[in-house]
Structure 1
Amino acid sequence: MTPLSQIAWDDTVLPFQLDRSDVRGRIARLDGVLEDVLRQHDYPAVVEGLVAEIALLTALIGQTMKLRWKLSLQVRGKGPIRILATDYYAPETEGGPARIRAWASFDPARLEEDADPFGQIGEGYLAVMIDQGEGTLPYQGMTPLAGGALSACAETYFAQSEQLPTRFQLAYGRSTEAGQAERWRAGGVMLQMMPSSPIAAREGSGEGGLLRHADILAGAEDENWTRANVLLDTVETMELIGPSVGLTNLLVRLFNEEVPRVYDPVPVRFGCTCSADRVRTSLSIYSARDLRHMTTAEGTVTADCQFCGAHYVFDPLTLGFEAVKNPDGSPKEAADG
């Protein structure tokens, strides 16, 4: 029998406010959505762990923003693990689910299963991209990879680019419950304080002089922030991952003295937006000559979605800005006439 707490809180982000300390936050727990993301691929365990971590970060960050469409996180490095990429799509309707997809690129020949996962990304950067949809300009912010974990990089991004003190406490791994198959689970808490006044430029205490969350606040704000962080540091791994502890119970256990207030939870699901039409659009910039170089021995152009593994096959004569056929195979002149 599945515990009630698991039914209620798996694949969910719960927004909250700590009224005493003026800190906002999110608690997230991912279960089935991680399985849906990872089953699309056959990643080694060290890569799966990083994908789980960045998917959890994406769920927490995506829910904090006034997002109309898409948030993307992308990690690029020079090590064996070259790319980690996620997309978070805001709910399309009130009370509807948000959607997440993720993938990774790595060099199997250089990968070390027993080495520190973050260290195998190597020198690189974390990019945060926000696309609010048609008629708006996309936003992109970047921060160097530093601090020993993806969550530390995200904290640095908010301190450097947004000047918002931000903390993450994450846990993820394979979980085995009685009578059930082993599966990935992840859980995390995000805290964020909105400073009441602009922050003067200063030297950061992080790696390479980067700002950290502790460098930003002063006075009463600093006291409130420190107190909330001390409480966050008491959380245990199994409390985060669950499933036996519900998110509201965990919130009360951690922050009862800070007067927590919760908002409507947001369900999270796996979702990919790829389609044949989108692939056609991405190939519309190529000439017939370019497409001949992409054509297989079977006389087709193929494309695979990195996120969900969907495989698309096209007649090259229907592609590009010099296409002579419509997608249905009919002569283009007939449709144009």
Structure 2
Amino acid sequence: MTIGSQLAWDDTVLPFQLDRSDIRGRVARLDGVLDQVLKQHAYPPQIEALVAETALLTALIGQAIKLRWKLSLQVRGKGPARLIATDYYGPSEDGQPARIRAYASFDKDRLDPHADPFSQIGEGYLAVLIDQGEGNVPYSGITPIAGGSLSACAETYFAQSEQLPTRFAVTFGRSQTPGQPLHWRAGGVMLQHMPKASPFVAQGAATGEGGLLTHADILSGDEGENWNRANLLLDTVEEMELIGPSVQPTDLLVRLFHEEQPRVFDAQPVRFGCSCSEEKVRNSLSIYSAKDIAHMTTPEGIVTADCQFCGAHYELDPATVGFEAEKSPDA
């Protein structure tokens, strides 16, 4: 494979369907997007790994949802990794790329450099938030941190909240192409059973960790056999097939699922993108009085704000912000 054909699949999400099994899925590869997300901050390795996994899950899930505006994942914990937040903005027009941004909040002094990144979250939850834009009521759902990985948490969320059997196989880490600098790269596959007519199909007691639902509580008979077969095939995937440059996603699907009759659809490009703006900063400050704004004003006589996602820096005239602003921003 040439470098050109390799790069053609970087920063894309490829939707597919397994016609024999009634299962849909996504293959994602993040390269430049992940590098841009992480280079905004000097995160420790454990936090970088958590952000990388969450960003990859966000790309896979975001593309699987009929999204008009934004999907957000938030991982909140009581451990050193306090918050991992990601946003996926659906394309504004057909053929346009989706956009991803992410950031983390953590307690550096409490991080264990020898511990597994997932263990740094501690007790907490994974939240999925879907905002379809103005005029629509945002949706949110949560699932506890459990199962040993963020991918397992996401699988539990779909089983518990949506009653959709879902499986993720992901890998991520620092990679180096000959002649190129070391950089972050991630790849993964998402499988999801087609929705049933009724969302309330689970029967009997839940068998998952902490009394939560699993795919076995939702599927039975031929559907259960189809799901198990597809998962066994996915279990054979190798890390280098997910993340490496030598196997195109279309070839990967044939390798894994050729007997399941895979059918691919148009790939979705993904780019790094932030929605911050001076106008949004001003809107966020509009609830404050002139006295509050005075407390926020620096010795240099300006109000400053920094975007946690992209690092953009804003400097505002204090007389133009707050609900008691003395003059307009354009003055």
Q: Is the 8 A contact 2:203 2:217 kept in 1?
A: no
Question: In structure 2, what is the equivalent of residue 334 of structure 1?
Answer: none
Q: Is the 8 A contact 1:147 1:206 kept in 2?
A: no
Q: Is the 8 A contact 2:127 2:140 kept in 1?
A: yes
Question: In structure 2, what is the equivalent of residue 14 of structure 1?
Answer: 14
Q: 1:6 and 1:218, CA in 2 relative to 1: closer, same or farther beyond 3 A? A: same
Question: In structure 2, what is the equivalent of residue 238 of structure 1?
Answer: 240
Question: In structure 2, what is the equivalent of residue 123 of structure 1?
Answer: 123
The CA deviation at 1:292 is 1.8
Q: 1:173 and 1:215, CA in 2 relative to 1: closer, same or farther beyond 3 A? A: same
Query: What is the TM-score when the length of structure 2 is the normalising length?
Result: 0.97
Aligned-partner Cα distance in 2 for 1:196–1:157: 17
Question: Which letter does structure 2 place at the counterpart of 1:162?
Answer: E
- Pair 1:23-2:26 in alignment: no
Query: What is the TM-score when the length of structure 1 is the normalising length?
Result: 0.95
Aligned-partner Cα distance in 1 for 2:10–2:2: 11
Aligned-partner Cα distance in 2 for 1:41–1:283: 25
Q: Is the 8 A contact 1:74 1:84 kept in 2?
A: yes
Aligned-partner Cα distance in 2 for 1:205–1:241: 33
The CA deviation at 1:197 is 5.0
Question: For each residue in 1:268-311, what CA deviation from the matched residue of structure 2 results, as whole angstroms up to 9, or x when unmatched?
Answer: 00001111011101111111122122222222211110000011
- Equivalent residue for 1:292, pick from 274, 279, 294: 294
Aligned-partner Cα distance in 2 for 1:130–1:196: 21
Question: In structure 2, what is the equivalent of residue 37 of structure 1?
Answer: 37
Alignment of 1:57-136 (within 5 A): 57-136=57-136
Question: In structure 2, what is the equivalent of residue 216 of structure 1?
Answer: 218
Alignment of 1:185-334 (within 5 A): 185-198=185-198, 199-328=201-330, 330=331
The CA deviation at 1:51 is 0.6
The CA deviation at 1:2 is 5.2
Aligned-partner Cα distance in 1 for 2:190–2:230: 11
Q: Is the 8 A contact 2:164 2:215 kept in 1?
A: yes
Q: Is the 8 A contact 1:16 1:261 kept in 2?
A: yes
The CA deviation at 1:4 is 3.8
Q: How many residues align?
A: 329
Aligned-partner Cα distance in 2 for 1:207–1:244: 37
Mean alpha-carbon deviation: is it higher for 139-148 or for 193-202? 193-202
Aligned-partner Cα distance in 2 for 1:105–1:285: 25
Q: Is the 8 A contact 2:233 2:256 kept in 1?
A: yes
The CA deviation at 1:201 is 4.9
- Pair 1:153-2:153 in alignment: yes
Q: Is the 8 A contact 2:171 2:242 kept in 1?
A: yes
Question: Which letter does structure 2 place at the counterpart of 1:286?
Answer: Y
Q: Matched residue of 2:154: which SS?
A: helix
Aligned-partner Cα distance in 2 for 1:98–1:151: 21
The CA deviation at 1:196 is 3.3
Gaps of 5+ in 1: 331-337
Q: Runs of at least 4 residues of structure 1 off by over 3 A? A: 195-198
Question: For each residue in 1:298-336, what CA deviation from the matched residue of structure 2 results, as whole angstroms up to 9, or x when unmatched?
Answer: 2221111000001111111111111111113x3xxxxxx
Q: Matched residue of 1:63: which SS?
A: helix
Q: Is the 8 A contact 1:160 1:210 kept in 2?
A: yes
Q: Is the 8 A contact 1:5 1:245 kept in 2?
A: no
Question: For each residue in 1:82-140, what CA deviation from the matched residue of structure 2 results, as whole angstroms up to 9, or x when unmatched?
Answer: 00000000011111100000000111111112201111011111110011111111111
Q: Matched residue of 2:110: which SS?
A: coil
Identity of aligned residues (%): 73
Gaps of 5+ in 2: none
Q: Matched residue of 1:101: which SS?
A: strand
Aligned-partner Cα distance in 2 for 1:24–1:183: 31
Coordinate RMSD, CA, aligned: 1.2
Question: For each residue in 1:19-54, what CA deviation from the matched residue of structure 2 results, as whole angstroms up to 9, or x when unmatched?
Answer: 000000000000011011111111111111111100
The CA deviation at 1:215 is 2.4
